[in-house]
Structure 1
Amino acid sequence: MPDSFRDQRFYAYVSLGEVLASRPYFANLKPEWLLGENPDWGSHIFDLSSPGLRDFLLKQVIAPLWQQGYRGFFFDTLDSYQLVAKTPEQREQQRQGLAALINQISQRYPRARFIFNRGFELMPMVEAPVDAIAAESLYQRWEAGKQRYAPVPEEDRQWLLNQFATMRDQYQVDTIAIDYAPPAEREQARELARKIAGHGVIPWITNPELDMLGLGVREVLPRQVLLVHGGSNERFWELSDAVRYGLMPLQFQGLVPDIRAINSTMPAGTLQGRYAGIVVWLEEEELADADFEAWLVEQKDAGVPIAMLGYPAVDPVGPNAQTFGFEGRPTPLSPPAITRQHEAMGFELALPKLIELSSPLHNSSAQPWLELRAGEHTYTPAATTPWGGYVFQPFMIRSILPGEKGEGLDRWVVNPLTFIREALQLPDMPIPDVTTENGRRLLFAHMDGDGFPSLAEVKGYQGQTDARVLLEEVLKRFDVPTTISVIEGEVAAHGLYPKMSAELEQIAREMFALPHVEAATHTYSHPFYWYDAQQMPGELYGPEGQLRLPIPDYQMDPVREVVGSAQYINDNLLAGGKRTEMVLWSGDTLPTPEALAAARRGNLLNMNGSDTIITHSAPTWTLIKGIGLPKGDEYQVYAPNQNENIYTNEWSGPFYGFERVLETFELTESPYRFKPVNIYYHTYIASKTAALESLLRVYRWAQSQPLHPVFASDYARKVLDFNTMVIARDNDGWRVKGNGELRTLRLPEALPLPALTNNTHGVAGYREDGPGRYLHLSGAAAHWQSGSNSLPYLQQANGRLTTFARNDDGMQFSLAGHTNLEFAIGNADGCSLNHNDEPLKPVRRDGTLYHYRSAKHELEELWLHCSH
């Protein structure tokens, strides 16, 4: 279980008063255990006076939930017996039976905790530890028989409020009101929550089906987005346009994609509150069937924002067209003229003079982003709408050479960040950011072990391996945290070069012994095509070419590739307590879900894949890729940047080409910080003089920049934390919770900075003078209110906060990093900084901002004392 959930209590829902016939255990119920039916829900009401039924429910319902790990239980339908038990004696029998069952559960499981839905009259009779009493419908209820929402009469509300007050006063339990509102009416739900909270009652506003994430005073903002793809002509869905181009604009805005093919099963229930929206990215027409269209209509009616990209997700002249406002138009006989254009259109490529419409339609209820006119007809191929928005080809992505495809030729016709934000109606919220910590852009290096045995052409190293060159000329000269990998099949004695193995293993040991180097595996046989190699384990060649290195008598196995090679490194190349931290994917960097699962089960982080290679000659955001890719229950972390093989045209020259990665670093820093600085290369970059010099230039540049060095494994953990971090509104403030790896939130301009008061927790400071406004977290959780700030704060640091606390006259903190520490404190006028009872003087001052340096890599218990 993630650390962020260890202090939480989860309650399993259990209906103690009635049961639906669809429940698996219903067939085993004896007829005499049922008193009657609930006509509103079509359910059967239990006779809880029966000891046999109570034993059955304990064994068949409660025990399996306990075995699944639940320690809390939400008991519903505790008053259902009142529908059939009409006399006082009958009702008392049922109350006694219910209380006996709950006490029986508590005696069997003493650690169990409970929440009751109503059941007020049971409280004097139960001995179980009750955390809260819930009741439905304080202000607004759902009338199942009439299928409508209705206000609660004042008399009923007052009775319920009195019951709640009694529960709090006499039994010291929390009280919860569960009210109902249409999923699309989010503001109405917020207003209901505010009213309920005004009575000292915990609110929860949801839908009658209880299949959406409702809201209370604290409103969890959904970050998951459903990304539906279809129509790609690539062999693997990982190469579809939705993945290649769609991940970046979604993830940069804090969204976590759930990726599904259009012909697969869609999420059940109402997505409102669970998903921030739906993006349907289609590369062909007419891919949606009737079931998908009906499902999409349901989500639209529930108020889930929908963005359609490429081609319409519903037939624009079909039965659901009108629901989305689409009006079919004839294909224009002459080139249409532009009559209206949003400023976000023509973003990287001007709109073409000769416009061909892939989907000739109009939408009179939309806000046009592009409006065209041909003859008597108006066309709207790009727009935002009340339900979301759409951009249809060729106005989304086009090649700069019409009819030609190739990496670097594509351009965004629409600004994807602007469109996604407006179409999905994204709220202004703190955005988890994996590029930065304590206000400084991250820096790390990692090396794929290809070519470890190759001989160098570099002067002074002729006849020696390029691995030796890399060790002496790079790793020993630069203390940048670097993740070094080797391919077992290249360096081990049982591999392809047994005569060189002793030398190669010794070089690897020397590399891994360096304090700024961590170990990774680049697999056993270096699969070039992961899916094909796994499907044809005994073959050396497949449809795309050579599948892996020709290890004799070996059949490809993902566990052997990943876990086995890591164990080889642990057993033969590491000392001093070091362990292999990661697997760096090889070849096409399309690991199978089985390979990803092997890494996770082997306690290995993973990275590599994707192609962020934006340069001045190809200055397009289509070449800035996402941070990672979900694959079922597994997750592939992408490398932030690409290696020298790409910049040298597949190692064909120019061999100094890797210096162009500096252009990539520049263009992924401004106008937005899309990526950290990631120096990514292969061993063979050290084999040629020009290539080695390009690498040295990149390292020298990195050391001259105000960056925050980390290991690649640290970055991978941040990406995984990004996927699970929770962001919630808390009245006029914010609460966030992660697992403590990701420590930065990016604040949109519309959000004010936090007021750093005694009521603020987990926020160490902020930085505003870069390409974003970054909030620094001191740990896994934080909460704050917005407002002005005059107190001191951490403005930037190149190390991680290991402790942080505020006090009445300043703050206490500790820093640990990989290089000489640098940090700055804002609002520090009238303050003094001490370490080990000795004053630490600033090296310079910029207004109220004081900059400090230390030759140490770690400073514990820094104390800032302020006179104001």
Structure 2
Amino acid sequence: MALLLAWCLPAHADKAAAFYYGPNIPWSELSLYDYPVVEPDQADRVPEFVADQRFYAYVSLGEVLPQRSYFSLIKPQWRLGKNRNWGSWVLDQSQAELRDIFVEKVFAPLWEAGYRGFFLDTLDSYQLGVTDEEGRQQQREGLAALINAVSQRYPDARFIFNRGFELMPMVRAQVDAIAAESLYQRWLPEKESYQVVPDPDREWLLQQFSELRQRFEVDGIAIDYAPPAEREQARQLARKIADHGLIPWVTNPAIDGFGLGVREVLPRDVLLIHGGSEERLWEHADAIRYGLMPLQFQGLIPDIREIDDTMPAGELRGRYAGIVVWLEKDGISSPDFESWLVRQRESGVPIVMLGYPAVDPLGPNGQIFGFQARTTPQVLPSIVRQHESMGFEAPLPRFLPVGEPLYNAQATTPWLEIASGSQRYMPVAITEWGGYAMQPYLIRAALPTIKAEGLDRWMLNPLTFLHDALRLPAMPIPDVTTENGRRLGFAHMDGDGFPSLAEVRDYQGQADARVLLEEVLKKFTLPTTISVIEGEVASDGLYPNQAAELQQIAREMFRLDHVEAATHTYSHPFFWYDAQNNPGDLFGPEGQLRLPIPDYKMDPVREVAGSADYIEKNLLPPGKKTRMVLWSGDTVPTPEALRAAREHGLLNMNGSDTTITRSAPTWTLIKGIGLPKGEEYQVYAPNQNENIYTRQWTGPFYGFERVIETFEMTESPYRFKPVDIYYHTYIASKNASLESLVTVYQWAQDQPLFPLFASEYVRKVLDFNQMAIAREADRWLVRGGGELRTLRLPESLDLPDMGNSEGLAGYRVDKPGRYLHMQGATASWKAGNHKRPYLQQANARLTDFTQTRSGLAFSLKGYAGLEFAIGNAEGCTMRQAGKRLAPVRREGSVYHYRSAKHELTELRLQCSQ
């Protein structure tokens, strides 16, 4: 479990506060702050993955809105008046009965929901309804009595006051901080405008903060307001506030955007909007097939919506890195969507339009985005300007089509400008609001008249274009391909064909599962996830005469230490949506829907949870659990199937088609890492199985050897994917296919990989979606769940100073990427060139790591004989259990070590001073 960030950061790190009252609370990002305040009505409870962090629930004590759930309990005589600016009622907190209602109906439910702190607002609102000093004192005493009652009920509760300076001498509760709004810039709701705070008001507030700090030793938080589009102005305000020794937070007036302080979160969410696809399933839209990879590789987390869906509410600036609209047809934007997009442009959210314009270029909104219409060219266009990243995977066509006849007056960097006579056209450009790439200059078929997988080509470099158009900052990028500098490596098997009879020499007539066990699993110890289809192996399944033999083979497989168990479902749905929508049918519009199990109606819970339970109860040795579900058929599970897996404690994987090869050398065949589906998440397999490389199992049956090409082309020039040997049981049924599998396993065995199970990879992908990154001056702060432990560092960022870091074990820079190694869930560092020893690479997970005064102390545990290397190790001696461990080789200042053991504890590197 992740530790509280405050424990993990260096002692000199200043505290930070964040306030967010909007929907879709960004829990991960807020967890980077010491004092995160949220509006609890926006969520059911504090999520488990941040339950170790203290979140402060917003509670208005002095006023109440009619929308609050407890408003009906408040008697009219307890109202002192109305705040017409906000439409709320001012409350009489001198009423003991009202205070009891707050304890029981407000604070108690919040405590049950996981909040361990409370931000108390409107503590001075009584002044709107009480004019005499005696009445004001009664209100102050009532407020203090309520706070003390909550503290007595919940002794561990902590509080932040919004003003309420005069209450401090009367409360016995643990008050962490006092907040106050408008130190330098305020928001005037009645005028809907920002205003500079007059000097006397500022001086008075600073005096209050100073006195409180001296008398009560509480932190001071100043909340100022700035336009969302003026991010740099917000940074300047934050710095001015911090110069007074106060914790700054600068945000929008509704506090529903992610503001900033001296500590600033770098947003990773990106809104990916698609429309116009002619595919039956939205999962096959171009935005998904092609757009996920370049976004996720750059550390972004897609929030996927169709253009007709409801768009996110609240202020997006600071919450989202940008908006990408990928349309496969022209003219499908609605007026409401265009208006919403214009508002995002005004807020300064970077916007990228792909395929076709997301606004009518001839309408008023098109003018706002700088589009200018041009007439259709009468003569063949020619290139005027072409960015070096255009013509990325295929040269621009000789006869240049114009596509959308447009120009853009707001372009800052034209990527492609063409001319026909006196007319200029600009189909691709970076603009002052983001950028756009119109068809056919986004993706184009190598053979335009033929539709087939592997023929599409990127006409521009998607990594470069999206990076520039979204104005992405240089930042550490969570990376799911690597740990401790080594490329991840594992295998997984879909259970299709478990009962098939083998044609392999010496195994004719035996189940091919037996061949796989004897010739692969017993000879190679790469961690492998094995699945079976319950309907094929169970005694009451399709093959009752073979069931006993098949179950015995499965038990022998699952007894192997390097094998983990998964289910490949009960009836192997071939088309998940159709099978679920037509549970009693065996055939649908796309063909057979599932295996023909008699008297069965497809049910996602039975498919996933039921089959997992069958495996666990009948096939696994004591101590092993069914870890995963590997999706079957079209590998497009429904949200209901995904939910069944999650609620049953199963991880999930499969789907997508990463099949880049030398004969199809295109990044369009490198897919993303996973896909959100509502509240659920499908994790994609890193690459594809032998069915693809053998032309749907029609031959050549040795074709799976070509997956090595895929492994090599997803390693260089970028490490896009880990190594995942993915196959079906039936690959062991033929001599040629079996030999290809052995060849691939042998290749993987010869690579310097980081072995792990598929379930551990899946946990990294899920952690990728939760990791938060912030910067505070020249220091980086990262918080995740502890599963994903690698950050990829862009060339523009300097390496860390290991003597001035927390949570980092080291780094590696001699591979396709510069990788930082995290020790666990959190890390903090500054750049520098301190020459302390560091972990350069290892093929096993760190279970402990400490920088000692004279070197390092650490422990490793993995699935193979240990290999690790230490940088800056000149003049150092490695010992384990008191015995000297000699390096096996040296490369400059990097010393390499090896042990036949899979685990070594208390390794100690002792260096001369």
Q: TM-score, normalised by structure 1?
A: 0.98
1:528 corresponds, among 548, 554, 574, to: 574
Deviates most, 557-566 or 621-630: 557-566
3-state DSSP of counterpart to 2:525: coil
**2:78 corresponding residue in structure 1:** 33
**1:787 corresponding residue in structure 2:** 832
Superimposed CA distance per residue, residues 423-454 of structure 1 (whole angstroms, 9 cap, x where no aligned partner): 11100000000000000101000000000011
Deviates most, 332-341 or 619-628: 332-341
1:458 corresponds, among 499, 504, 510, to: 504
1:630 corresponds, among 676, 682, 691, to: 676
**2:598 corresponding residue in structure 1:** 552
1:662 corresponds, among 708, 733, 738, to: 708
User: Does the CA contact (< 8 Å) of 1:347 and 1:412 recur in 2?
Assistant: yes
For the structure 1 residues 199 and 507, does the alpha-carbon distance in structure 2 shift closer, same or farther, using more than 3 Å as the test?
A: same
Alpha-carbon distance in structure 2 between the residues aligned to 1:4 and 1:746: 23
Alpha-carbon distance in structure 1 between the residues aligned to 2:797 and 2:617: 51
**1:576 corresponding residue in structure 2:** 622
Alpha-carbon distance in structure 1 between the residues aligned to 2:610 and 2:485: 39
**1:424 corresponding residue in structure 2:** 470
**1:171 corresponding residue in structure 2:** 216
User: Does the CA contact (< 8 Å) of 2:694 and 2:700 recur in 1?
Assistant: yes
Specify the code of the residue in structure 2 equivalent to 1:512: F
Superimposed CA distance per residue, residues 16-71 of structure 1 (whole angstroms, 9 cap, x where no aligned partner): 22233444544554333322233433433223233343344444433443343323
Alpha-carbon distance in structure 2 between the residues aligned to 1:37 and 1:379: 59
**1:701 corresponding residue in structure 2:** 747
3-state DSSP of counterpart to 2:801: coil
Alpha-carbon distance in structure 1 between the residues aligned to 2:371 and 2:780: 39
Superimposed CA distance per residue, residues 667-708 of structure 1 (whole angstroms, 9 cap, x where no aligned partner): 100100000011000000010111011111111111111111
Structure 2 residue 299 is matched with structure 1 residue 292: no
Deviation at 1:207, TM superposition (A): 0.7
**1:593 corresponding residue in structure 2:** 639
User: Does the CA contact (< 8 Å) of 2:295 and 2:302 recur in 1?
Assistant: yes
User: Does the CA contact (< 8 Å) of 1:114 and 1:130 recur in 2?
Assistant: yes
Superimposed CA distance per residue, residues 303-322 of structure 1 (whole angstroms, 9 cap, x where no aligned partner): 11111111111111112112
For the structure 1 residues 4 and 862, does the alpha-carbon distance in structure 2 shift closer, same or farther, using more than 3 Å as the test?
A: farther
User: Does the CA contact (< 8 Å) of 1:609 and 1:639 recur in 2?
Assistant: yes
Give the percent of matched residue pairs that are identical in Structure 1 and Structure 2: 70
Specify the code of the residue in structure 2 equivalent to 1:844: R
Deviates most, 60-69 or 246-255: 60-69
Deviation at 1:637, TM superposition (A): 0.4
Specify the code of the residue in structure 2 equivalent to 1:291: D
User: Does the CA contact (< 8 Å) of 2:51 and 2:114 recur in 1?
Assistant: no
User: Does the CA contact (< 8 Å) of 1:523 and 1:561 recur in 2?
Assistant: yes
3-state DSSP of counterpart to 1:630: strand
User: Does the CA contact (< 8 Å) of 1:4 and 1:780 recur in 2?
Assistant: no
Deviation at 1:816, TM superposition (A): 0.8
Structure 2 residue 140 is matched with structure 1 residue 119: no
3-state DSSP of counterpart to 1:199: coil
2:538 corresponds, among 481, 485, 492, to: 492
Specify the code of the residue in structure 1 equivalent to 2:637: P
Question: What is the root-mean-square deviation of aligned Cα atoms in Å?
Answer: 1.5
Specify the code of the residue in structure 1 equivalent to 2:222: A
3-state DSSP of counterpart to 1:320: helix
Which structure 2 segments of 5+ residues have no match?
A: 1-45
User: Does the CA contact (< 8 Å) of 1:3 and 1:739 recur in 2?
Assistant: no
**2:453 corresponding residue in structure 1:** 407
Specify the code of the residue in structure 2 equivalent to 1:483: T
**2:262 corresponding residue in structure 1:** 217
**1:321 corresponding residue in structure 2:** 366
Alpha-carbon distance in structure 1 between the residues aligned to 2:854 and 2:886: 18
Give the alignment of 1:363-442 within 5 angstroms: 363-367=408-412, 368-442=414-488
Give the alignment of 1:730-745 within 5 angstroms: 730-745=776-791
**1:333 corresponding residue in structure 2:** 378
What number of residue pairs does the alignment pair up? 867
Structure 2 residue 629 is matched with structure 1 residue 611: no
Deviates most, 648-657 or 26-35: 26-35
Specify the code of the residue in structure 2 equivalent to 1:237: W
Alpha-carbon distance in structure 2 between the residues aligned to 1:50 and 1:533: 61
3-state DSSP of counterpart to 1:811: strand
Specify the code of the residue in structure 1 equivalent to 2:757: F
Deviation at 1:75, TM superposition (A): 1.1
3-state DSSP of counterpart to 1:581: strand
Structure 2 residue 725 is matched with structure 1 residue 671: no
3-state DSSP of counterpart to 1:321: helix
Alpha-carbon distance in structure 2 between the residues aligned to 1:6 and 1:456: 52
Alpha-carbon distance in structure 2 between the residues aligned to 1:394 and 1:261: 22
3-state DSSP of counterpart to 1:805: strand
Deviates most, 637-646 or 146-155: 146-155
Alpha-carbon distance in structure 2 between the residues aligned to 1:324 and 1:93: 57
For the structure 1 residues 59 and 328, does the alpha-carbon distance in structure 2 shift closer, same or farther, using more than 3 Å as the test?
A: farther
**1:645 corresponding residue in structure 2:** 691
2:118 corresponds, among 66, 73, 89, to: 73
3-state DSSP of counterpart to 1:445: strand
Deviation at 1:214, TM superposition (A): 1.2
Superimposed CA distance per residue, residues 724-749 of structure 1 (whole angstroms, 9 cap, x where no aligned partner): 01111022010111111101000000
User: Does the CA contact (< 8 Å) of 2:484 and 2:821 recur in 1?
Assistant: yes
Alpha-carbon distance in structure 2 between the residues aligned to 1:574 and 1:813: 34
Alpha-carbon distance in structure 1 between the residues aligned to 2:103 and 2:339: 40
Alpha-carbon distance in structure 2 between the residues aligned to 1:725 and 1:331: 48
Structure 2 residue 321 is matched with structure 1 residue 282: no
3-state DSSP of counterpart to 2:249: strand
Structure 2 residue 277 is matched with structure 1 residue 232: yes
User: Does the CA contact (< 8 Å) of 1:4 and 1:738 recur in 2?
Assistant: no
Alpha-carbon distance in structure 2 between the residues aligned to 1:25 and 1:626: 45
Deviation at 1:495, TM superposition (A): 0.5
User: Does the CA contact (< 8 Å) of 2:434 and 2:471 recur in 1?
Assistant: yes
**1:516 corresponding residue in structure 2:** 562
Give the alignment of 1:252-291 within 5 angstroms: 252-291=297-336
Alpha-carbon distance in structure 2 between the residues aligned to 1:434 and 1:98: 50
Superimposed CA distance per residue, residues 756-815 of structure 1 (whole angstroms, 9 cap, x where no aligned partner): 11x411111100011000001111111011111311111111111111000110010111
**1:760 corresponding residue in structure 2:** 805
Which structure 1 segments of 5+ residues have no match?
A: none
**1:481 corresponding residue in structure 2:** 527
3-state DSSP of counterpart to 2:280: coil
Alpha-carbon distance in structure 1 between the residues aligned to 2:574 and 2:817: 38
**1:90 corresponding residue in structure 2:** 135
Q: Which has the higher contact order (CA 8 A, sep 6+)?
A: 2
User: Does the CA contact (< 8 Å) of 1:311 and 1:358 recur in 2?
Assistant: no
Deviation at 1:847, TM superposition (A): 1.1
Alpha-carbon distance in structure 1 between the residues aligned to 2:381 and 2:840: 53
Structure 2 residue 549 is matched with structure 1 residue 503: yes
Deviation at 1:110, TM superposition (A): 3.7
Specify the code of the residue in structure 1 equivalent to 2:85: D
Alpha-carbon distance in structure 1 between the residues aligned to 2:848 and 2:837: 16
Deviation at 1:342, TM superposition (A): 1.0
Alpha-carbon distance in structure 1 between the residues aligned to 2:117 and 2:769: 26
User: Does the CA contact (< 8 Å) of 2:569 and 2:608 recur in 1?
Assistant: yes
Deviation at 1:2, TM superposition (A): 6.7
Alpha-carbon distance in structure 2 between the residues aligned to 1:293 and 1:107: 53
Deviates most, 839-848 or 168-177: 168-177
Deviation at 1:820, TM superposition (A): 0.8
Specify the code of the residue in structure 1 equivalent to 2:629: V
Specify the code of the residue in structure 2 equivalent to 1:135: A
